[in-house]
């Protein structure tokens, strides 16, 4: 019996007695207890009520290989695909794998992260089996120069996948966020983010870890932990629409793989115009917050290197991604 088999029984959000769980899995109640202890150690929330049994706080849909395959997940294109219940961070898992896999392509999902992070060391809130958290390990043969504009290309792939899923009211914020429109038709709420990390020789063959966090269902208690406006796909759809996590994951990763293949051969330049068409802040007055200063101007998109273009009182200026933050001027 594995923790995943136990979680599958509890995935309906209803109470199940230890006796019933043991009968379903063909194990003793003591074995069930040991697995429950392991889930607790992994910070997976399982409620226990005397006389009722065990349950998850809410019904969940786990990521499963058969379900992913049914929706066209490109398993055969990756050297490995891990579906973990809980990890500190999917990016950390792939960085560790990179130490022994210098030229392989791998992907890792986690149902929750205990130490998920975004850019600039920010926490990435990762409730169990409610959103998507995954990282891809991808080799590049020409060092850091070959990955300029990569986070923009990844954002574009995710945005294209969302459109295939019928979610059209999204846009991209330079350099690595996916935003959704609010009730007034303005891009305000964060739907997802991208974290790029590099390992290996920055001047030659290197491996890049591409982390993606996408909100599927953001609840009020999550917003209390998030430092900015956020929304999930579920909140963008009609209330009666079913959200299939496995389908979302399969579609997004298929788009991401194809985009990374193209980017590896041609770089960002062929994607620049398409990214500009999805630019959430096109024509908006913005603030670019640098480590020791702030620049204001009108956002006019990106150039073929993926650099941000701002129309300022001093003329057009361009900026590389780094320790910067882009905000609307209001």
Q: Is 190 marked active-site?
A: yes
Tell me which of 117, 181, 190, 245 is the catalytic residue.
190
Cβ pair 152, 275 in contact under 8 A: yes
Catalytic residue among 119, 130, 173, 181: 119
41 Cβ neighbours under 8 A, 6+ residues apart:
none
327 is catalytic: yes
Q: Which residues contact 292 (CB under 8 A, 6 or more apart)?
A: none
* Cα gap 149→53, rounded to integer Å: 51
Cα–Cα dist 27/21, whole Å: 8
DSSP state, residue 243? -
Among 204, 210, 230, which residue's Cα sits nearest to residue 130? 230
- Residues 6 or more apart in contact with residue 121 via CB below 8 angstroms: none
**177 neighbors 229 (Cβ within 8 angstroms):** no
The first and second tokens of residue 272, run together, are 């620049």
* Token pair listed for 238: 């009609």
Q: Is 202 exposed, middle or buried (0-12, 13-18, 19+ CB in 10 A)?
A: exposed
Task: Report which of 225, 271, 233, 276 is spatially closest to residue 116, judged by C-alpha positions.
Answer: 225
Q: Which residues of 89-100 are buried (b: 16+ CB within 10 A; e: fewer)?
A: bbbbbbbebbee
Q: Is 305 a catalytic residue?
A: no
Active-site choice (188, 298, 309, 327): 327
Cβ atoms of 23 and 31 closer than 8 Å: no
Active site amino acids: 119, 190, 327
């Amino acid at each position: 019996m594995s923790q995943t088999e136990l979680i599958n029984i509890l995935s309906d959000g209803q109470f199940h007695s230890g006796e019933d769980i043991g009968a379903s899995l063909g194990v003793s109640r003591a074995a069930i207890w040991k697995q429950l202890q392991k889930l607790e150690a992994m910070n997976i929330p399982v409620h226990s009520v005397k006389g009722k049994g065990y349950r998850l706080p809410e019904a969940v849909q786990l990521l499963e290989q058969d379900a992913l395959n049914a929706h066209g997940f490109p398993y055969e294109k990756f050297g490995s695909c891990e579906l973990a219940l809980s990890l500190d961070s999917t990016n950390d898992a792939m960085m560790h794998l990179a130490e022994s896999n210098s030229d392989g392509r791998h992907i890792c999902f986690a149902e929750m992260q205990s130490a998920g992070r975004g850019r600039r060391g920010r926490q990435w809130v990762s409730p169990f089996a409610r959103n998507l958290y995954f990282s891809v390990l991808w080799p590049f043969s020409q060092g850091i120069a070959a990955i300029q504009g990569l986070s923009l290309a990844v954002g574009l792939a995710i945005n294209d996948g969302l459109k295939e899923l019928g979610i059209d009211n999204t846009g991209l914020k330079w350099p690595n966020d996916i935003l959704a429109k609010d009730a007034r038709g303005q891009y305000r709420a964060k739907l997802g983010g991208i974290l790029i990390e590099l390992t290996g020789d920055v001047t030659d063959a290197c491996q890049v870890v591409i982390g993606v966090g996408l909100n599927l269902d953001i609840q009020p208690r999550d917003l209390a932990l998030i430092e900015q406006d956020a929304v999930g796909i579920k909140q963008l759809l009609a209330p009666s629409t079913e959200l299939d996590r496995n389908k979302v994951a399969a579609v997004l990763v298929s788009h991401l793989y194809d985009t990374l293949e193209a980017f590896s051969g041609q770089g960002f330049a062929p994607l620049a115009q398409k990214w500009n068409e999805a630019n959430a802040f096109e024509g908006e007055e913005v603030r670019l917050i640098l480590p020791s200063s702030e620049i204001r101007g009108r956002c006019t998109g990106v150039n073929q290197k993926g650099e941000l273009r701002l129309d300022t009182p001093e003329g057009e200026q361009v900026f590389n991604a780094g320790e910067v933050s882009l905000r609307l001027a209001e």
